[in-house]
Amino acid sequence: MTEEGADEGTDSGRPALADQRGVETVYQPAEDSDLLARTAAERVTSGDRVLDVGTGSGYVAATLAEAGAEAVGVDLSPLACREAAENGLPVVRGDLVSPFHENSFDLVAFNPPYLPTPAEAEWDDWMEHALSGGEDGRRLVDPFLAAVSRVLAPGGEALLLVSSLTDPDAVRAYARENGLGSEVLATEKHPYEELVVLRFSEI
């Protein structure tokens, strides 16, 4: 499923949850991860090939594997890849879907960094990469939507978790510009936002 040259496997050793300062370095499962995992698990059947983009600790992929899917994770962070591997998940280090061949997956799930973050509030480490959605919250959402069709098998679908802060309508409009129809699969209200799971498939 991976393109030649992709990094499979990780360094051995203990999971890197925090650096020397005690600062967390890998995004851990939270309400958004759980909503995406539960929604995606309801849509997979035994033997489905699924990809968890930005896998972090591997929580979503592990949930889908428990539901019977053949799950793999991908993450740009070497620390996330190491932790996911330590948690027993097949994982590839790479950027979004770029390491994988065409038509590889029946379902692709992505819980991206979606919080709008002013440039002056950002910092330079892997945890920032996992949290910051850039000025409009779509720093990785748009590139994902532009690329995901390539790796979807015929009839495949992509599930994306976004926030009301990210403007889901704008996300769906951008997806349509890239040949993807969409629908809302699940929502969950929280004090300062509403989490939304969107489904995308080729028009």
Q: Domains of the chain, with CATH numbers?
A: 30-202 (3.40.50.150)
Instruction: Give yes or no for residue 131 having a pLDDT over 70.
Output: no
Q: Are 201 and 180 in contact (CB under 8 A)?
A: yes
Q: Which residues of 160-191 are buried (b: 16+ CB within 10 A; e: fewer)?
A: bbbbbbbbbeebbebbeeeebebeebbebeee
- Spatial CA neighbour of 157 closest among 56, 50, 69: 50
The total of other beta-carbon atoms located within 10 Å of residue 1's CB is 16
Cα–Cα distances in angstroms (integers) from residue 97 to residues 85, 110, 118, 166, in the given order: 18, 10, 26, 21
Cα–Cα distance for residue pair 78/93, rounded to 1 Å: 7
Confidence of residue 129 (pLDDT cuts 50, 70, 90): low
Cα–Cα distance for residue pair 102/36, rounded to 1 Å: 24
Q: Are 105 and 158 in contact (CB under 8 A)?
A: no
Confidence of residue 113 (pLDDT cuts 50, 70, 90): confident
Through-space distance between the first and last CA atoms of the chain, rounded to whole angstroms? 24
pLDDT tens-digit readout, 64-102: 999 999 999 999 888 889 999 999 999 999 999 999 999
Instruction: Give yes or no for residue 6 having a pLDDT over 80.
Output: no
Q: Are 27 and 57 in contact (CB under 8 A)?
A: yes
Instruction: Give yes or no for residue 146 having a pLDDT over 50.
Output: yes
**Least confidently predicted of 15-19, 27-31, 37-41, 99-103:** 15-19
As a whole number, mean pLDDT of residues 136-165 equals 93
Which amino acid appears at position 88 of this protein? Answer: G
As a whole number, mean pLDDT of residues 28-50 equals 93
Containing 110, the helix (H) or strand (E) segment is: strand 105-110
The pTM (predicted TM-score) of the whole model is 0.83
What the block records as the tokens of 111 is 């819980």
Task: Output DSSP code: residue 164.
Answer: G
